[in-house]
Structure 1
């Protein structure tokens, strides 16, 4: 599947959480995605260091056409090509890779490159990043987002790593345009128990934490 139907910014802004799926087989990812969609969440990232990631992205694109399905952990041009060939609608990197960012921008594919320092953040933005992924956000916290946006108020920030139900509201209050969430969103116990109804309720509770910052 090589078609990259447009990323829906409307869907993203209605539920600005990027759910990060890493290391799970398609048979598990499919019911997760179903619960995710039913909870009103819209944007899922499959990391490219997941076994059969391109096949998973392609399958999700077909099964969930109203969701944003993207690829994460893109570190090389080979990763980018594989992701786009599978139909990924957006690209996420853990670090700054200039050629990856600029190629995605040139192809009008939303890209969220990972950055940490103010200089890296500004550099990513000047290359055309759709939003800059602040990674890892664990030690930085919401105050860092507020501090960065004081002088660099036009940059869109997407903190990732360490975002939880307990602190997600604080990140949005500080000015984040969205967040990336992995383990705190994808509850391992619920998934191991195949409790996807419980997982859906978990998703709904997290989404409610940011209702003040979304259109829905």
Structure 2
């Protein structure tokens, strides 16, 4: 299978918006609002009810406006489900070499979850396209900077606790992409159908990225995938 992930789009705005635990209509409305705000990459976690159907629906509704992928991919069977649903990338919560290999064999970028330096290196050696440092909020940007010291060849995507306010700090520490769940798809806002807030929040995240990129200039860490 050919890689259908739009890397140019992702490199311009390397933010993955994470939809977890919403109904199909809620996910659809939230995703469209976020895309209206500038978001271009969306993940639906497979521990969401009818996740495959949601991925298929978002692929149809968003078309070429966004990369749509599957998250919480924990088994080869999950990889197969993601492929059938039309996901263009997969995200795992842990390092599983078999899952990483299955994803890459299917032609999908794999953002593999890891926490320690040993796990990050193991994921990279297994073929992960990028390492999702999760949960990033436990140790923060200083941890990203420390890991980047000996493992600068590995592109890191902190996930969990990334906000509009601290995105630039993570970027300065060496992160090249970011996974964002609740700070973008806030459960109370979704339940209240406050789509304008989600669109505005997506714009805030996009602006935070652009401002950080402009501030760092040539010193910005490059995404090498």
Q: Same fold (TM over 0.5)?
A: yes
Secondary structure of 1:112's aligned partner: strand
Match of residue 41 from structure 1: 39
Q: Is 1:13 aligned to residue 11 of structure 2?
A: yes
Counterpart of 1:79 in structure 2 is 78
**In the TM superposition, what is the alpha-carbon distance from 1:71 to its structure 2 partner?**
0.3
Distance 1:213 1:80 in 2: 34
2:53 to 52, 55, 63: 55
Partner of 2:44: helix, strand, or coil? Answer: strand
Q: TM-score, normalised by structure 2?
A: 0.90
CA distance in 1, matches of 2:168, 2:121: 24
Q: Distance in 2 between matches of 1:121 and 1:99?
A: 15
| Counterparts in 2 of 1:214 and 1:12: CA distance versus 1, 3 Å | farther
Equivalent in the alignment of 1:194 = 193
Distance 2:168 2:40 in 1: 18
**Equivalent residue runs for 1:1-216 within 5 Å:** 6-66=4-64, 67-213=66-212
Shift of 1:96: 0.9
Corresponding pairs, count: 213
Query: Which has the larger share of helix?
Result: 2
Structure 2: stretches of 5+ with no match in the other structure: 215-225
Question: Which runs of no fewer than 5 residues in structure 1 stay unpaired?
Answer: none
* Counterpart secondary structure, 1:201: helix
Say whether the 8 Å CA contact 2:83–2:106 is kept in structure 1: no
Residues 163 and 130 from structure 1, CA distance in 2 versus in 1: closer, same or farther, beyond 3 angstroms?
same
Separation in 2, partners of 1:169, 1:15: 13
3-state DSSP class of the match of 1:49? coil
- How far, CA to CA, are the matches of 1:188 and 1:74 in structure 2? 22
Q: CA 1:214 to 1:31, structure 2 compared with 1: closer, same or farther past 3 Å?
A: farther
Counterpart contact for 1:60–1:69, Cα < 8 Å: yes
SS at match of 1:146: helix
1:174-204 residue CA offsets vs partner (Å, 9 max, x unmatched):
1111010111111223222212112211111
